[in-house]
């Protein structure tokens, strides 16, 4: 049984449907990449799993999200508070807005340890310093007493990760954890997260728009587009044999060593908003293989026969493996 199992999850804000039958699973010691362009529903999925939909007027309209023995779709807020931070932790996109500017970063990690682990002030400080050492923060005792504005973006992101680890969670949801960081720091943060999964056996849901990050860090991947799943599978199979045109287009956006200047091609058009979702397959206005049925009929999921453990593609005309 998977630690996290999301099945046909649908979400709306007001009367506007945003997520439509999203499904994926995640187990301990595994990294699942949730990937897609901005507007695909990745962060909304994170908010749903964290029980934060009421903050934006959202609600779950169908489906199920099971975490261990809990159904997160019907969990009362009081029960959610016992899970949030302690068993399910969130690393948000922007560490600068995640940190309180008037408290030292050490006090904020201490606070998380005291709240979720019930530690004394002295024990919380000792745990904070230990976490900072584990996250390769130099001169941890000195950094502990500094304020967010005194730290670099990469260092602030390490602090946010330390806060997420303070409750010793089973599941970490990392929502674009390398946004606005330079390439070298991005690689360091992704390596830190990968090491945490390997050493602690936590489950990591890594939300990103960058297929390069997926290739570096993930075991499996679920590709989202305009609030729907496009394709799921192992990272090896997704990169070797992409079956959805959108998946193939995302992979094509990755710069390659030795690539001639001006030859990197993006995906024409943009992700539609919830008010302009087209009928049928939502990707069809941008798709190079769209046919008449793609414009009128929602594609059902087809189970793929792959050496790496299968997968599912939601496409009327999935690409042949040889085209990957």
CA 90 to chain centre: 10
Q: How confident is the model over 166-204, as pLDDT tens digits?
A: 999 999 999 998 877 788 888 888 898 999 999 999 999
Task: Provide the pLDDT for residue 309.
Answer: 63
Distance CA 110, CA 113 (A): 5
Buried b (16+ CB within 10 A) or exposed e, 229-251: bbbbbbbebbbebbbbbbbbbbb
Residue 226 in any domain: the answer is yes
Taking residues 124-134, report their average pLDDT.
94
Q: How confident is the model over 18-60, as pLDDT tens digits?
A: 999 999 999 999 999 999 999 999 999 999 999 999 999 999 9
Distance CA 36, CA 34 (A): 7
Distance CA 33, CA 175 (A): 10
Contact yes or no for 216/177 (Cβ under 8 A): no
Q: Dihedral (C-alpha) 102, 107, 110, 111: value to the nearest 10 degrees?
A: -30
Distance CA 292, CA 68 (A): 43
Per-residue confidence band for 322, with pLDDT thresholds at 50, 70 and 90 = very low
Q: Rounded to two decimals, what is the model's pTM? A: 0.92
Taking residues 289-315, report their average pLDDT.
86
- Whole-angstrom CA distances from 166 to 8, 74, 116, 223 are 32, 26, 7, 30
Task: Provide the pLDDT for residue 113.
Answer: 92
Burial of residue 5, with CB atoms counted within 10 A of its CB: 0-12 exposed, 13-18 middle, 19 or more buried: middle
Task: Provide the pLDDT for residue 266.
Answer: 85
Task: Provide the pLDDT for residue 130.
Answer: 95
Residue 141 in any domain: the answer is no
What residues make up the domain containing 243?
Answer: 4-87+169-323
Residue 116 in any domain: the answer is no
Burial of residue 203, with CB atoms counted within 10 A of its CB: 0-12 exposed, 13-18 middle, 19 or more buried: buried
CATH classification at residue 17 = 3.40.50.300
H or E element that contains 31: strand 31-35
Residue 134 in any domain: the answer is no
Per-residue confidence band for 261, with pLDDT thresholds at 50, 70 and 90 = confident
Residue 240 in any domain: the answer is yes
- 254 compared with 144, residue with greater pLDDT: 144
Q: How confident is the model over 4-15, as pLDDT tens digits?
A: 999 999 999 999
Q: What is the DSSP string of 99-132?
A: S-TTS-HHHHHHHHHHHHH---HHHHHHHHHHHH
- Whole-angstrom CA distances from 212 to 50, 63, 252 are 26, 31, 10
Residue 140 in any domain: the answer is no
**Contact residues for 295 (Cβ-Cβ < 8 A; gap 6+):** 278, 279, 280, 281, 284
Percent of the chain with pLDDT over 90: 73
Distance CA 324, CA 321 (A): 5
Query: What is the domain count for the chain?
Result: 1
Residue 307 in any domain: the answer is yes
Q: How confident is the model over 130-176, as pLDDT tens digits?
A: 999 989 899 999 999 999 999 998 899 999 999 999 999 999 999 99
Burial of residue 296, with CB atoms counted within 10 A of its CB: 0-12 exposed, 13-18 middle, 19 or more buried: exposed
Distance CA 72, CA 80 (A): 8
- Whether residue 323 has pLDDT greater than 60: no
Buried b (16+ CB within 10 A) or exposed e, 186-196: bbbbbebbbeb
Q: Which of 153, 78, 143 is nearest to 105 (CA)?
A: 143
- 182 compared with 70, residue with greater pLDDT: 70
Q: How confident is the model over 268-291, as pLDDT tens digits?
A: 999 999 999 999 999 999 998 999
Lowest mean pLDDT among 38-42, 50-54, 232-236, 301-305: 301-305
Task: Provide the pLDDT for residue 4.
Answer: 96
**Contact residues for 271 (Cβ-Cβ < 8 A; gap 6+):** 36, 37, 38, 39, 40, 225, 226
Distance CA 129, CA 144 (A): 7
Residue 160 in any domain: the answer is no
Contact yes or no for 66/27 (Cβ under 8 A): no
Per-residue confidence band for 126, with pLDDT thresholds at 50, 70 and 90 = very high
Task: Provide the pLDDT for residue 258.
Answer: 77
């Amino acid at each position: 049984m998977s630690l996290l199992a999301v099945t046909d999850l649908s979400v709306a804000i007001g009367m506007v449907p945003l997520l439509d039958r999203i499904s994926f699973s995640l187990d301990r010691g595994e990294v699942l990449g949730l990937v897609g362009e901005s507007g695909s529903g990745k962060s909304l999925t994170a908010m749903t799993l964290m029980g934060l939909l009421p903050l934006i007027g959202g609600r779950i309209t169908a489906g199920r999200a099971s975490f261990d023995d809990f159904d997160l779709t019907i969990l009362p807020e009081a029960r959610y508070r016992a899970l949030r931070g302690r068993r399910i932790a969130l690393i948000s996109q922007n560490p600068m807005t995640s940190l309180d500017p008037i408290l030292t970063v050490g006090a904020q990690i201490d606070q998380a340890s005291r709240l979720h682990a019930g530690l004394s002030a002295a024990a919380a400080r000792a745990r904070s310093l230990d976490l900072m050492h584990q996250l390769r923060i130099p001169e941890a005792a000195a950094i502990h007493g500094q304020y967010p504005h005194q730290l670099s973006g990469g260092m602030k992101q390490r602090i946010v990760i330390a806060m997420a680890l303070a409750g010793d969670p089973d599941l970490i949801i990392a929502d674009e954890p390398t946004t606005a960081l330079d390439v070298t720091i991005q690689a360091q943060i992704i390596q830190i997260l990968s090491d945490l999964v390997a050493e602690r056996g936590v489950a990591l849901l890594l939300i990103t728009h960058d297929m390069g990050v997926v290739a570096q860090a993930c075991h499996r991947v679920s590709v989202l587009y305009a609030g729907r799943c496009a394709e799921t599978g192992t990272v090896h199979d997704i990169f070797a044999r992409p079956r959805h045109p959108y998946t193939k287009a995302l992979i094509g956006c990755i710069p390659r060593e030795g690539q001639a200047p001006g030859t990197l091609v993006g995906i024409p058009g943009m992700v539609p908003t919830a008010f302009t979702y087209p009928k049928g397959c939502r990707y069809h206005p941008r798709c190079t293989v769209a046919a008449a049925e793609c414009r009128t009929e929602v594609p059902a999921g087809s189970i793929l026969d792959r050496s790496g453990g299968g997968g599912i593609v939601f496409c009327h005309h999935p690409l042949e493996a040889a085209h990957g």
